[in-house]
Amino acid sequence: MANYSILDLVPITAGSDAATALERSKDLAVKAESWGYTRYWVAEHHNMPGIASSATAVVIGHLAAATNHIRIGSGGIMLPNHAPLMVAEQFGTLATLFPNRIDLGLGRAPGTDGLTMQALRRNLTANIEDFPKDVVELQHYLKEAQPGQRVSATPGAGTNVPIWILGSSLFGAQLAAMLGLPFAFASHFAPTYLMAALETYRTNFKPSATLDAPYVMLGCNLCAADTDEEAQYLRSSSLQSFVNLRRGQPGPLPPPVKDFESVLNSAEQQMVQAIGQCSAVGNLPRVTEQLEAFLAQTDADELMLVSSIYSPEARLRSYALGAEAMQSISTTALPKVTTG
């Protein structure tokens, strides 16, 4: 059975607020732990009125304090926004408070628009081309401090927080392979380069002190309900949010509507169909079939499920059914190295 995890954007639903979103995510994390999920990640986004996880490390601490053993992490920290030492100190502190439970997924995108990026960084001399160097520097701070080392992370040094490389193109696959790190691909919203990225990562992987074999986690949209009709209806909230973002109109997660796809133009319909390639939508038998097919196609070691659903009760139900589906799927792949 492949591992299964959750990516939570901590959505602020229309008519609600950030405090409610954070409380709902805490409730989901507690239940996810009881349902057998391996890890629970939140993502860094800024100036997004529908996402409450901008202070990602703080949210991770909030979730870790409410749970006991599920791994809590970032999917991801957008490293161009931060000095590696600051990230090492933040996640080193988390790892000190919650030993052997913290993951550090890293992305090279800013996670926001240009104006907000300037407000975040002030000094824009750093750019995404520095990402590989910054990853190596961050690794250095999380290892045991060496004699004579003039700058170290406290807390942080010696915590060896597991680092993942995130990607939606071939760049992340190449870097993860070169450094021998686990790789998480954002197929839930950018499936175009999925198979090419998997081939690149697996072919070029170099064993490291972290991993002796490739380890792949793939994002997969999940909208599971008691009936196919209900699932299709509930999914319209995430589709509206996705389309609104592409239109440059981000906002709170909207309530579901009937026949949403029928009002889209041809380009928007193609975008929706593209993300449908990495989605499981329907009742329990249907999502089980779709998840099993996705695993067979990709030979993923782990799926990170994303349920962006307006109703908190329906979102909990979707993840409960997702866990049931994953537990029923057996894989014939050879055992792979795990990362905690």
What is the structure's pLDDT at 337?
40
Written as one letter, the residue type at 188 is H
For residues 156 and 92, is the Cβ–Cβ distance under 8 A?
Answer: yes
What is the structure's pLDDT at 123?
59
For residues 232 and 200, is the Cβ–Cβ distance under 8 A?
Answer: no
What is the structure's pLDDT at 128?
63
SS3 at position 5: strand
What is the structure's pLDDT at 107?
95
- Please give the angle made by the CA atoms of 259, 261 and 262, to the nearest 5 degrees: 70
SS3 at position 68: coil
What is the structure's pLDDT at 273?
87
For residues 239 and 272, is the Cβ–Cβ distance under 8 A?
Answer: yes
What is the structure's pLDDT at 121?
67
Written as one letter, the residue type at 302 is E
What is the structure's pLDDT at 122?
52
Structural domains of the chain in order of their starting residue, each with its CATH number: 3-328 (3.20.20.30)
- Please give the angle made by the CA atoms of 171, 175 and 181, to the nearest 5 degrees: 135
Written as one letter, the residue type at 164 is W
**DSSP state, residue 261:** G
User: Tens digit of pLDDT per residue, the chain (340 long)?
Assistant: 689 999 999 999 999 999 999 999 999 999 999 999 999 999 999 999 999 999 999 999 999 999 999 999 999 999 988 999 999 999 999 999 999 999 999 999 866 677 777 787 655 565 667 899 999 999 999 999 999 999 999 999 999 999 999 999 999 999 999 999 999 999 999 999 999 999 999 999 999 999 999 999 999 999 999 999 999 999 999 999 999 988 888 899 999 999 898 888 888 888 888 888 899 999 999 999 999 999 999 999 999 999 999 999 999 999 999 999 999 996 433 334 444 4
DSSP 114-152: HHHHHHHHS-TT--GGGHHHHHHHHHHHHSPPPTT-S--
Cα–Cα distance for residue pair 269/324, rounded to 1 Å: 31
What is the structure's pLDDT at 253?
97
Alpha carbon separation from 211 to 57, 135, 158, 190, 337 (Å, rounded): 25, 16, 18, 26, 7
SS3 at position 255: coil
Q: Encoding tokens for residue 234?
A: 């509930």
